[in-house]
Amino acid sequence: MPAEYHISSNVDLIIHLYDSSSPPPSPTEYTDRDEYSSSTAPPDITKYYVTAWSLQQASPIFSRIISPSSHFKQPSKTLYSGQNIKLITLSDDSPHALSIVLNLLHLNSKSLPSVEEISWNTFYDIAVIWDKYDINNLIVPPWVKHFKKLMNGVGYEGWLFIGKTFREGEGYVELTARLIVEAGQNLSEKEAIEAGPGGVGFTRGGRYIDAGGWPDSVREHITSENSNLMENIRNILTNWKWSFKGKRPRALCTCYGNVHRYNRHTSLSNSIADLLSDESMVPSPPSHLPNTDHTSAGTRLASRLRGIEGVGNWQWNGSIVTLRRRMGVLRKCMGDRDMRQVKQMLENADIYDLCPLEESALRVLYDFDQTIEIIKGIGIDGRIVDVPLHRLIEDVKTDPWNSKGGEKKWEGLMMLGVRISGMFAVVSVLVFAIALGKGWGVQMVEGGIVT
């Protein structure tokens, strides 16, 4: 049997809460009775005994429901404790969450649940009621700070709605940016059923996340940014995949004279094939593959790369974070470098004598990291803010590829010294040339100054 909540000792308003899936009750049935009795109310109605003033001061929506203008239907009245009081009807709110909100509006702090007693789902329902009735933020639920600490965890994505409802902007931009790189589109059959034909959501951390309750602008921004980034990444990887098409791949290893380097690049080619593989990218049939241990590494490598036919475009349905971890295998094959060094090497490929295979992998890794280096988050005010990737993914901070290079300062000083020395040499040559032109050089030689 639905409960009844005595929120105020000064009752001048009764609220009936019902589920809209049931026929709405008619409050007028109480107007002809001598005294309102909760036992005569329909069994599926939850009842609240409150003070109207507390609701009207906090919510313009409640104010209009309780005391509408003369142009609208007035609330019913009933006799309660010898007084005629108003009776209003609400629908589709969480009964427990509504009782908490009403206690908050009546400042009944002793009747509120503690942090340990309130669940995330209940807190979310409170936010829904807060938003529905446009309750002002002069009153702040005491559990906001507690749940704010959990907002980055899987299962707490509803903070995108809660944070905006309670005007909690701190960390909001980073959360939206985090979801952009952690959102995946691959739904299992079970998840697709849960989402429904019109479901709005994605996978994150191995579970389906329903994004239907998020603010429209935030959901659209996350979806759009994720799609744009993935499209850019697909283009990078598709172009790389197609570069191996045909019998003579463009980026074969040429390090035949360096066994250590060549073996490392053989491992690199296997990682490339694994990353780019799909149903159209299978190794050559066994009958076409050499099967002796005496086969040269070059032949094995060429055979593996020629198996990449590039019939279809490269596809990926997981998250950007997961893809970056997978591409970490390629980074390990490239050695302990940082992106500054990689950029220099690509700009001076001939000087560094890069193997074509290594150069292509470095270029893809560089383009990939540049694509996701900055993620565009969105604040509760709708502003778009750039968020560096290292603030979203912990292992990026310690990844050598994202290092600025510890020797950069000393290299700068060395380059400054080289430039100064060069300038001094140029000035010396000019002075000597001028001296020769004026005959000073002859005088210096005759005087024994220059020997």
> pLDDT tens digit string along 216-248?
999 999 989 999 999 999 999 999 888 877 644
Taking all residues of the chain, what is their mean pLDDT, rounded to a whole number? 78
Lowest-pLDDT range, 153-162, 273-282, 376-385? 273-282
Averaged pLDDT for residues 296-300: 50
| Residue 289 confidence class, pLDDT cut points 50, 70, 90 | very low
Averaged pLDDT for residues 278-300: 42
> pLDDT tens digit string along 137-175?
788 899 999 999 999 999 999 999 999 999 999 999 999
3-class SS letters over 274-329: HHHCCCCCCCCCHHHCCCCCCCCHHHHHHHHHHCCCCCCCCCCCCCHHHHHHHHHH
> Contact at 8 Å (CB) between 191 and 203?
yes
Averaged pLDDT for residues 368-374: 93
Q: CA 8, CA 51: separation in Å to the nearest integer?
A: 6
Q: CA 191, CA 199: separation in Å to the nearest integer?
A: 10
pLDDT of residue 26: 62
| Residue 402 confidence class, pLDDT cut points 50, 70, 90 | low
Q: CA 309, CA 311: separation in Å to the nearest integer?
A: 6
> pLDDT tens digit string along 174-192?
999 999 999 886 555 555 5
Collapsing DSSP to helix, strand or coil, 363 comes out as helix
| Residue 408 confidence class, pLDDT cut points 50, 70, 90 | very low
Averaged pLDDT for residues 200-223: 86
Averaged pLDDT for residues 117-124: 96
Nearest to 181 by CA among 402, 396, 331: 396
Nearest to 230 by CA among 289, 317, 307, 292: 317
> Contact at 8 Å (CB) between 277 and 315?
no
| Residue 304 confidence class, pLDDT cut points 50, 70, 90 | low
Burial class of residue 393 in the structure, from the number of CB atoms within 10 Å of its CB (0-12 exposed, 13-18 middle, 19+ buried): buried
pLDDT of residue 101: 97
> Contact at 8 Å (CB) between 389 and 372?
yes
Name the percent of the chain lying above pLDDT 70. Answer: 69
> pLDDT tens digit string along 63-85?
999 988 766 678 888 888 888 89
Paired tokens of 38: 């909760």
First-to-final CA distance of the chain: 115
Q: CA 150, CA 444: separation in Å to the nearest integer?
A: 82
Q: CA 288, CA 100: separation in Å to the nearest integer?
A: 73
| Residue 407 confidence class, pLDDT cut points 50, 70, 90 | very low
Q: CA 386, CA 393: separation in Å to the nearest integer?
A: 15
| Residue 280 confidence class, pLDDT cut points 50, 70, 90 | very low
> 384 forms bridges with which residues in the sheet?
378
Q: Which CATH superfamily is domain 4-149 in?
A: Potassium Channel Kv1.1; Chain A (3.30.710.10)
Nearest to 103 by CA among 143, 75, 73: 143
> Contact at 8 Å (CB) between 281 and 273?
yes
Averaged pLDDT for residues 115-128: 96
The domain spans of the chain are: 4-149, 168-406, 411-446
